[in-house]
Structure 1
């Protein structure tokens, strides 16, 4: 309360008719009048509403599982009590799912007093998947799921996770789905930042972030064979969940916390860090995780100080035609870091934050990328039995809103 009032108003205001909607409201031990309000709402709303009162479960997974077990519709949507719908949200998402026979539908999300994912809303997509789009960078539960998919696979939220449980659920749904649709031309969901600053993802110890990363990496390993597709998904837990634990704030933390974070990261780096994942990152991201993987806390500190001070790396052209960014320890013999860790990738070119490109360096990079594209084109033309493939610009890099600042805590 009072967010719940606006939330339920937005459901009643839906252009989808009331006889096509049901509300299952789970009161998870609220003490602010929520339970009484829900009972009153259920008694007078034209939308069939069932209210379930239970003791506080300590997280969102339990209530969502209870609600899912009670749901009877063809689709389910997990609506948080402090957020709200756009008026046409359900009508548009259901129509999109029905028209394309897809199992998951994403409706455009915008933030209200907080950030929200952005990189996946470039255009509406009738049918896509987690490998062909940026949807892996929005793994919150606020999606339209075909209920038959969830029932068939016995999908539930992991109640042992206190954060990141929605990422695990949603990614599994993406992987099992017969197609995913994206509604990008209408704001379906308003993600609200509470005035009191209370939010479940901001609470809890940093160890919960490692628990979340571990679970997501294990899921990817179980569902996707090793190779380029797995690497393209592994970028998400590394970039969004693990990397923020080793941001500039790491410099201020106690030696005990720093040591513990490196200990927690080691088995994850040993099991899942690979060249295929590394090359999908920007140089400063890749370099930080390289130092973590090697257990080089001393080098990590130097790089983090460089980033904290907002310094700009120099651009170097190599005799191999590649372009390198001169972050700390580049070609430092004592550090012994391979040049490849500093090599610029296509993603760095598309989203070159923190870098003020000298014209000569930028031109050299563009020429290098064009040469590589031309070489691939020539090779494929010489093999007429195969399709011609020219490297495309990858999807836009995730924004800072997709790597919440609270994860760096």
Structure 2
């Protein structure tokens, strides 16, 4: 039994060779407006040799934020330290803060307030990239309860989010340390699916995703085989929780568009024929099991066509599409029987045998068009009222 009150948030920091970035990372936790008494840090030194472990011990000895430091042998990835942190966490919420990154000052206060107000189990705070890219499409507005199927929250599955610890305890959720990449996507998608809702805090900026000067980002390394394993595991998780149909298709877009599609992109123009053959073999069982017309229609024609070629095992046709795109040629639009198509390579080529549906330009769903129209009408009304002085 602890002698101190349980904190609102446990910030879990897995640190490996994290100097000097760790200094600003820890300072950003100390400077949180939520107050030092409502936060604890569980920092796991994952076998560092650059002074990371020593700095964590020094910080723990002097910081106003209660800090526990664990020193362990290198585990080979971020999942091990995060799992150690989950075991030791006492907060109502946990946040996985990477040692290279740092918080915005109001991050934890805003996210905890949102979780308490909305009763949600996962809270996303706006992420901004520093010297690297960051997801953008999901930060348009603060939302108390986002629809994981129709919104873009499914396109941010990194672990840097606020999770209600009770959810993790109830389902025994941990990061899969056998995976070399994508373990965070698997963990976060499971939380989305099992939790009581997802919230979005779009303002202010909560998290700064920092690009290291030395370029050490594990997600950028590794053979392409591990991407197919990552996609497969995520597809299996989605299928386990959602029966075939519209909702499953809306979630399946994520592993197809984010994980598989890049493997059938311009990188193939730099790889040999053996790589193409191998990738088609790796993709075949996933395409057969999870690629549906519903998933396909949620993608734009250029992306849909590339994955359709992969699904049909048509390597030569795929390479023709990539070469067409590389030369920045513009495809003609063709209207036939009330449908409009983008005449990319092999459109209506009988020998190629690619269905017209792969080329069709599909508009946004009706409900989305109606929402856009409603916003335009509301905007016009507001402008008229302002102009009339009412």
Instruction: Please give the TM-score of this superposition, normalised by the length of structure 2.
Output: 0.89
The answer for the alignment partner of 1:92 in structure 2 is 110
Determine which of 45, 51, 54 is the counterpart of 1:36: 54
Q: CA deviation at 1:392?
A: 4.3
**1:62-81 pair list within 5 angstroms:** 62-81=80-99
Aligned twin of 1:325: 342
How far is the alpha carbon of 1:132 from its aligned partner?
3.7
Of 229, 233, 239, 2:247 maps to: 229
Q: Among 353, 358, 373, which residue is 1:336 paired with?
A: 353
Unaligned runs of 5+ in 2: 1-18, 373-390
Q: Give the distance between the partners of 2:139 and 2:289, measured in 1 at CA.
A: 32
Q: Give 1:321-400 correspondences, 5 Å limit.
A: 321-347=338-364, 392=370
Give the match for residue 203 of structure 1: 221
C-alpha contact 1:129 1:174 (8 A) present in aligned 2? no
Q: Distance in 2 between matches of 1:328 and 1:215?
A: 32
Q: CA deviation at 1:390?
A: 7.7
Partner of 1:361: none
CA distance in 2, matches of 1:107, 1:392: 28
1:324, distance to aligned residue in structure 2 (A): 0.6
User: 1:390 and 1:295, CA in 2 relative to 1: closer, same or farther beyond 3 A?
Assistant: closer
Name the structure, 1 or 2, with higher relative contact order (CA <8 Å, separation 6+).
1
Deviations 1:140-165 (A, max 9, x none): 00000000011001100011111110
| Corresponding position of 1:150 | 168
> In structure 2, the residue corresponding to 1:220 is in which secondary structure?
helix
CA change 1:390–1:218 in 2 (3 A) is closer
Q: Give the equivalent residue in structure 2 for 1:295.
A: 313
Mark the CA change 1:261 to 1:392 in structure 2 (over 3 Å): closer, same or farther.
Answer: farther
Q: Is the 8 A contact 1:64 1:78 kept in 2?
A: yes
**Structure 1: how far apart are the matches of 2:186 and 2:311?**
24
1:270 shift after superposition: 0.8
Verify the 8 A CA contact 1:107 1:184 in the aligned structure 2.
yes
TM-score normalised by structure 1 residue count = 0.85
Aligned to 1:362: none
1:186 corresponding residue in structure 2: 204
Deviations 1:48-90 (A, max 9, x none): 0000000000011111000111000000000000000000000
- Asked whether the equivalents of residues 309 and 354 of structure 2 are also in contact (C-alpha less than 8 Å), the reply is no
Which digits, 9 at most, give the CA deviation of each residue in 1:7-38, with x for residues without a partner? 00100110011111000000000111000000
Which of 131, 136, 159 is the matching residue for 1:113? 131
Aligned length: 354
Aligned residue for 1:404?
none
Match of 2:284 in 1: 266
**Uncovered stretches (5+) of structure 1, i.e. residues with no partner:** 348-368, 374-388, 395-409
Structure 2 contact 150–250 (Cα < 8 Å) conserved:
no
Does the 8 Å CA contact 1:346/1:393 hold for their aligned counterparts?
no
Q: For residues 296 and 321 of structure 1, what CA distance do their matches in structure 2 show?
A: 28
Measure the CA separation in 1 of the matches of 2:173 and 2:31: 30
Aligned to 1:310: 328
Query: Whole-Å Cα distance in 1 between the matches of residues 368 and 94 of structure 2?
Result: 40
